[in-house]
Amino acid sequence: MEYTTLGRTGLKVSVMGLGCGGPSRIGQSAGISEADSIRIVKHALESGINFIDTAEVYRTEHIVGKGIKNVDRENIIISTKKSTWGTLTPKDVQKSFERSLENLGTDYIDIYHLHGVILKDYDYLYSEIVPTLLELKDQDKIHFLGITERFNPDPNHSMLQRALQDDIWDVMMVGFNILNQSARDLVLAKAMEKNIGILIMFAVRLALSRPKRLKECLNELIEKNQLDPSDINMDDPLKFLIHEGGAENLVDAAYRFCRYEPGTHVILSGTGNFSHLKNNLESILRPPLPETDLIKLRKIFKNVDSISGQ
């Protein structure tokens, strides 16, 4: 495994993190047993991953808690979150935070995020909820504050652009992938200036793991005039990435694309499948995609800021 420093937190984190939400929820959405999901967590840790992202709303915190039970707490970085949809009160956050501690079997959270924030809610959360988070930080129960965007309805990062104007966020979770690279200019550039730790979600998601979904997304982009159809062969749209010296397959390309983007620190991989976990680890540790392929990807998708790749 390779490790890096998560921006101003100073935490030494593995460049791949285990995502325990997304479409997979470490296999819980596909119906695998709790014991197998616990084995995924343990296997990730044994492979050198020390960064685990979960959230109260994923209903996987207790699985993570069981997976990390016999590991020294200081060797694991736990990122979890409080969802922000609905009207949130400081009391809700307090209760939720205590439940997360209990589920995870720990007495502190390394990074506690406001989860899936949209622009319209940002000012309320900043003035009414952040003070509670800062109190928890003063008590050393939260080590660093994070914020995550809701990438599906906010694919051009309007909320994170607002959040970047404030100085309290140590970590941000950003949607970024081959299809929608808009975070490069809209978020990552400023985040680098402020030395904010960046976690990447949606590296693969559905569009880059299912060929049918990829074509649907590309057709949507053509309709929206964000993709020039002459730039892409719809029979096998991203085939040019797969060649000797290039990517092994599209998922491999997708993780490597994110891994080497300047300003990113941890690439989250959400899976409940042991062979996917192994393959994804191998991908993240391979070298960058060839520069010619990267230039082509930047050109083809330069205008895209309207889809998440869901």
DSSP code of residue 89: -
> Burial, 20: exposed, middle or buried (Cβ in 10 Å; 0-12, 13-18, 19+)?
buried
* Residues binding ligand NAP (CB under 6 A): 19-24, 27, 53, 115-116, 148, 150, 173, 201-205, 209, 251, 268-273, 276, 279-280
Please state the closest distance from residue 23 (CB atom) to ligand NAP, in A: 4
Sign for the pseudo-dihedral over CA of 166, 12, 199, 85 = negative
CB of 22 to ligand NAP, least distance (A): 2
Contacts of 24 (CB under 8 A, 6+ apart): 30, 270, 271, 272, 273
133 and 92 in contact (C-beta within 8 Å)?
no
The residue with its CB nearest to ligand NAP is 22
How far apart are the C-alpha atoms of 73 and 286, rounded to whole Å?
A: 29
How far does Cα 195 stand from its chain's mean position?
Answer: 17
DSSP for 245-266 reads TSBSSHHHHHHHHHHTSTT--E
Exposed/middle/buried for residue 310 (C-beta within 10 Å: 0-12, 13-18, 19+): middle
Residue with Cβ nearer ligand NAP (112 or 202): 202
Q: Closer to ligand NAP by CB, 82 or 132: give it.
A: 82
Closest approach of ligand NAP to the CB of residue 228, in Å: 26
Residue closer to ligand NAP (CB basis): 64 or 136: 64
CB of 203 to ligand NAP, least distance (A): 4
| Residue number with CB closer to ligand NAP (120 or 225) | 120
| Closer residue to ligand NAP, CB minimum distance, 139 or 275 | 275
Distance in Å, CB of 266 to ligand NAP, minimum: 10
CB nearer to ligand NAP: give 27 or 263: 27
> Smallest gap, in angstroms, from Cβ of residue 56 to ligand NAP?
11
